[in-house]
A and B are shown apart, each in its own frame.
Chain A
Amino acid sequence: MSRPFPYTFISCPCANIPVPDPAKKRRSRESPQKSHPDQPKSLLRPDDDEDEQAFDPRSPRANFSLYPPEQLLYCEDCHQIKCPRCITEEIVCWYCPNCLFETPSSMVRSEGNRCARNCFNCPICTAPLGVNTLENVVTGGTSQQGPWVLSCGYCMWSTLDIGIKFDKPTNIRTQLSKMTEVTPARSRQMSRTFGDLKSPLSTYSSIDEQFLPPGETKPEDPPLDQPSAPLTPDARFHALKNFYKNQISATSSSPTDPLGMDFGSGFSSPGALNRIMSLYTSSSRLSSLYGGANKKPKTKPPVMREALTASEGLKIPSPDAEDTLIERMSSPDCGWDGLASIEQRAFQSPDARFVEDLLPLPVLLRTKRSKRCKSCKHILVKPELKPQSTRFRIRLIALSYIPLPTLRPLNPSPSPATTTTTTVLPAPSSSTTNPNLDALSPLRPIQLLLTLKNHMFDPVRVTLATPSVTPGRVASKVTILCPQFDIGANSDVWDEALQGTSATTTTATSTGTDPRGSRSGGLGVYEKVAEAGKVWDKGRNWTTVVLEVVPGTLPGGAKQTSSAHNTKKDKKKKKAPADDDLDDQDDNSDDDDSDSDPGFDWSGQTSDPNEQLQPDEDVLEIPVFVHMEWDSDNQIDSEQGVGRAGAGGSDTVKRELAYWMVLGVGRIVREIV
């Protein structure tokens, strides 16, 4: 599904820790009978696998905790896997992904988090736009280049479609914003429209310039410009903001304040200076502070009024505005493609409804972020400062601490695999055809090789556990033939070369040597048959075990082909999961399996009239619980290990780590071949 089969995902253990609701403490204290049975437990020991239920890769929450192994980080101090949810991030630098220029942090906000240069995306198809000239006339020695446009190389859209040309090929962003901002608000003062383009910080200054002393009543803008040009939402916003500021300062500075006329005006904050200045002057300070509560009728403050004119931000839509919209929508030259889609409108002005209203979008900036562990604040990732550099100063990715799981199908033994190989990863020792993982036939067992590769410099003892039947309605049976094994240390490659191919010698440092691990890797691949309790193959720092999977039948599997009696047969074929063993080669050949189906966990649901398959329900995913133990050297993480090891002073510390991972095997098809 999400990736080509087979794939692996790792579930970050943080998902089991519920968001601490502070109210729960109090609530449970108040009403002890209303307990939360599982939450405190998982709070205490999230790794506790005894009475915790098996991880369900199909639960809606699982999508939020499963990550591809390469995306996870590892905190060396907490000794825990860290997913994007359990880290905090700090921005190191901002840059434009298109031109790779860094934007200084002070400019990011004022540029609206977008590139201030010539980088634009097509409003139609989001492809990057190029700056092209319209005419390229070479006169004499100098090439006379005409007006410039932004054009999309993918969908052939250009700013000519919306009637915009540029005078210069540089600074397109400023040119564009001048054009788009000035035209609708031309009737307004020019100074304001420039202020609008800048940050709120700079609008303070521009607003202050036109701030009127509160004593004088604000001269209403002549209403004659009202119908001529409606304000853009942005201009309206600033008009409103201006208006409120005026009102606040007008209403909060009392007329008795001697300094109000002179000083209150210069500040955008309502009468801030008045209060400061009148602090030590007279008793009028109370009246200025408590103007509202003052008993003197003379100083009863004026109430803030509402916006009355369009210049103050009031907008009364004309009743036929919508009619013209409808008219335009229904006109034949608009059509489906003339109207902007939701996606196209996402970052445009809220009024943009037609394709003609769309403006080229400056490229959104991106950030480089350093990441810290949320609980211990240690840095996990620290990239280089420069946007062009892809290097990292610190990067603690989880794969250097947890074994990398890879899955591949084992060649089926004699049973004829009629399906063709398509996109399956070729097994290195493929002699026959591989099973098609995109079309697994139900009830036909397949064997998979799960390889765990250790990247640590310590040998690791791994215990795998899996529910014998995968959760969900499509119950597939899973058996790990060798659930407990060792993986060798990630020692120097030359060691292995010098000591021969046998991997066991490198595990000399491990305390408990596994007798089963003594099989040598090289030979006998072809003749080898998977045996229970034995490791399939083993190398210097990797171990391969065999998984045997019997894909379950889909609910309503034969619905499309024929009737319900067929599905009943399918259900019959499915044995109770408990009494299954490795040798179920034969029981998918004969249909008259007399087993009734008491053991189904999904039998109740299949009798549902609604037997449809949920999306992705046919994907065979196996949750596997991984528990790993190793003795780590204190030298590796000395400063932490000393604290941990305590007075004993032993040079090794026993560590363990446990997590769920999900193996995506393949997609089960409906019919049985």
Chain B
Amino acid sequence: MTSTSSTSAFDDRRPISMSFRHSQSGRPDSPHTPQHHLRSNNSSFASTSSASTSFRGEEDAIIFEFGARWLRAGFEGESTPMCVVGCGPEESRRVGDYRGWLRSNETDSSRSQPVKADEWAGAYELWKMDVRDMDMALIDDKIERMFRETYNKYLLTDAGTSRLVLVLPSIMPHPLLSSLLSTLFSRWRFPSITLLTSAPMAVVAAGLRSGLVVDIGWAETIVSGIYEYREMAVKRSTRAMKSLLQETGRFLTRLSDDSGAAQSADEISVHYELCEEIASRFLWCKPKAASHGSTATPQQQPAEAREEHSGAADQHTTSHSDATVSLPSPSGSGSTYIDLPFSKLAEPVEKVLFAEGLADCELDDEEKPLPLLVYHALLSLPPDVRGTCMSRIIFIGGGSNIPGVRQRILQDVAFLVEKYGWSPVRGKVIEQQRQKLESLRLSQPTKPTVTKQEDENETPDAAAARSTPDAQAEEEIDPIEQKIRRNNKDKDTHPPVQGVLREVESLGPWAGASLLTSLKVRGLVEIEREKYLQHGLAGASRDLEHGHAPDRRSGLRTGGDRSSWTLAGWG
């Protein structure tokens, strides 16, 4: 089977099936030739029989994933993006300004003034979600330059000839979205731009249909519960990489000048690049310590297994807590190094992402620590969905690369679940009642311990193996479940894993979008050039019932006629 024939098969499929849809909606029974519709309807990517044009029409889409800091770009069907481009001050210099290359002799002189933590990190971000004091024209400029350089340096293809797929966070301010689309459409001749949300894409790239996506991003951590590719619940917290870097910067600033104690706490005098370098190399996160559990609230009947495990973890920790690492001195010129206990480098993570040393009541709604955020997100999901999602936790975003963070979050969530169960109600009276109940049912094996144990010492197949008896137990209870299972016996023999905390690794939103696009699944939000240029974002139909739900099963693009387009969730 040659590749050309398979691509042309792709080609033929879409127009014909679409035309069927039209004929179906009009007169269900009368047969007619679909040619007319084919020609009139989608001229932009219609394929004729000629092989060359069909190949041209099927030119690989280019996928861009936009974040607040990085832009990932590459072709559909590839596993990793071609490049990751930032937009720091170095990238927004004038053309012909080669200062970045002369950095070596400049470092000593320019490291001087402490900078406010916000500006310190703000120079490196493409946009903020707070658009009130943002210069949209500047963002246009940045986007334009990033795109142009990405095409010229890395993608090495002509800009604007092929479809564009953008992976965006599920909530975008309209000015930003409009600025982005207007820039792209007016600068280049992209025939159409498809928007995809990042969280479901991460689920796709994990090979799942549902999951809880924990995106430890730049400005905020977003926990979204995805069920059957749909976002069910989204929780956000400002505890994310930006504040982590700022905290690391403060930490290094304190290290670098002991004299500058009088300095206001919010100012950072370390180079941002150095700080980020240190953060990306050496920041790590301790596993959940037993001491932490005891300080927070003494828990009543901690399972022995857990104790043991955390004890072991403690030994781990102690084994490398006395290790020292040497970092390039943040205070000055390149060649000097300072020695630092390795355990010190876990402190910013603990403090920022896990709100170490802060009581729950002191935290605002938007700054919940990550485990609590995950717990709340799970809590807000319906029980069925929760069961599915909690055993498919996916970590994406820059913060998920910090070693130890994932395990720590899972451990903390397990602890929360064990402590509170799935109930949002808190309080002393409730606690007492719960204790009474607990003591009543102590005689029989408790469910939470099972959950927790599985979480603790689980290996990939062990989890699957363990879930089987669970499911069988359910089967006896639920006759309908049983029947379904019986009917589907030939299809899939594996009952889905659910109810246990489990992490699944994803290849990331970019790869998900690449996967989806290469499978010729069309997004619901597909903005065509001409239509956008007529009215801009305002031209999107606000009708959320626009078209049909995308037919994921068959991967067909549905949605009736494309005379109107929608922004779906972004609208």
Contacts and interface: CB of A to CB of B under 8 A. Distances in A.
Interface of A: 1-3, 9, 15, 18-27, 60-68, 71, 84-85, 88-91, 94, 108-109, 112-113, 200-205, 208, 217, 223, 226-227, 233-234, 236-238, 240-241, 243-245, 248, 251-252, 266-273, 275-276, 286, 289-292, 301-308, 310, 312-319, 322-323, 325-327, 329-332, 335-336, 339-342, 345-347, 349-350, 364-367, 369, 612-613, 615
B519 A244 contact: yes
Interface stretch (B234-242, B253-261, B402-410): B402-410
B9 A267 contact: yes
Interface stretch (B72-80, B354-362, B418-426): B72-80
B286 to A, nearest CB: 9
Interface string B90-114: 0011111111000000000010010
B504 A314 contact: yes
A411 B403 CA distance: 62
B474 to A, nearest CB: 18
B332 interface: no
A22 B533 contact: yes
A25 B535 CA distance: 7
A61 B138 contact: yes
A240 B186 contact: no
Nearest to B281: A339
Given A65-B141, A319-B457, A330-B320, 7 more contacts: A22-B535, A64-B92, A292-B553, A315-B505, A329-B342, A330-B323, A350-B80
Contacts of A3: 96-98
A233 B514 CA distance: 13
Nearest to A305: B492
A322 B325 contact: no
A22 B186 CA distance: 10
B13 A272 contact: yes
A202 B488 CA distance: 35
Given A238-B79, A240-B205, A314-B207, A269 B520 contact: yes
B507 A329 contact: no
Nearest to B20: A289
B503 A316 contact: yes
B13 A61 contact: no
Nearest to B551: A292
Given A21-B178, A109-B60, A1 B97 contact: yes
Q: Specify which of A18, A20, A336 lies most central, judged by the most chain B CB atoms within 10 Å of its CB.
A: A336
Given A21-B178, A269-B520, A365-B156, A336 B281 contact: yes
A307 B208 contact: yes
Nearest to B189: A88
B153 interface: yes
Nearest to B520: A269
B505 A66 contact: no
A24 B536 contact: yes
CB-CB nearest 3 A-B residue pairs: A23-B536, A307-B207, A237-B79
Contact of B323 (A62, A66, A252, A332): A332
B325 A84 contact: no
Interface stretch (B44-52, B144-152, B290-298): B144-152
B27 interface: no
Interface string B266-307: 000000000011001110100100000000000000000000
B515 A21 contact: no
Interface string B536-571: 111100000000000111110000000000000000
B532 interface: yes
Interface in B387-411: 403-407
A486 to B, nearest CB: 30
Contacts of A272: 9-10, 12-13
Interface stretch (B217-225, B373-381, B458-466): B458-466
Nearest to B95: A67
Contacts of B492: 305, 308
Given A61-B141, A85-B144, A204 B555 contact: no
Nearest to A276: B12
A341 B183 CA distance: 33
Contacts of A208: 1, 6
B407 A19 contact: no
A64 B135 CA distance: 13
B270 to A, nearest CB: 16
24 contacts: A3-B98, A20-B182, A21-B179, A22-B534, A26-B535, A26-B538, A60-B92, A60-B135, A63-B97, A64-B92, A71-B96, A85-B144, A85-B145, A88-B159, A233-B80, A237-B507, A269-B10, A289-B24, A291-B554, A312-B207, A315-B505, A316-B505, A336-B328, A349-B80
A645 to B, nearest CB: 32
B186 A310 contact: no
Given A26-B536, A113-B82, A21 B207 contact: no
B137 interface: yes
A329 B324 CA distance: 10
B433 interface: no
A66 B6 contact: no
Contacts of B494: 308
Interface of B: 1-3, 6-7, 9-10, 12-13, 16-17, 20, 24, 60, 75-80, 82-84, 92-99, 110, 113, 135, 137-138, 140-142, 144-145, 148, 151-160, 178-179, 182-183, 186-188, 205-210, 276-277, 280-282, 284, 287, 316, 319-320, 323, 325-328, 337, 342, 403-407, 456-461, 463-464, 488, 490-492, 494, 496, 502-505, 507-508, 511, 514-515, 518-520, 532-539, 551-555
B553 A346 contact: no
Contacts, number: 320
Given A267-B9, A336-B328, A19 B461 contact: no
Contacts of B488: 302
Nearest to B283: A329
A31 to B, nearest CB: 11
A364 B508 contact: no
A305 B534 CA distance: 41
Nearest to B92: A63
A458 to B, nearest CB: 28
B277 A269 contact: no
A71 B97 CA distance: 12
A554 to B, nearest CB: 13
Nearest to A27: B538
B154 A113 contact: yes
Nearest to B79: A237
B555 A267 contact: no
Given A241-B518, A349-B80, A322 B406 contact: yes
A318 B13 contact: no
Contact of A346 (B7, B84, B99, B316): B84
B516 to A, nearest CB: 8
Nearest to B145: A64
Nearest to A237: B79
Given A113-B82, A306-B208, A615-B110, A89 B96 contact: no
Given A251-B554, A307-B208, A23 B538 contact: yes
A255 B491 CA distance: 13
B536 A306 contact: no
B15 to A, nearest CB: 12
A151 to B, nearest CB: 25
Nearest to B504: A316
A23 B551 CA distance: 30
B325 A330 contact: yes
B152 A64 contact: no
Contacts of A9: 94, 96
B95 A66 contact: yes
A227 to B, nearest CB: 7
A67 B95 CA distance: 6
B137 A19 contact: yes
Contacts of A364: 153-154
Contact of B13 (A205, A240, A275, A365): A275
Contacts of B534: 22
A39 B499 CA distance: 57
Q: Specify which of B12, B13, B405 lies most central, judged by the most chain A CB atoms within 10 Å of its CB.
A: B13
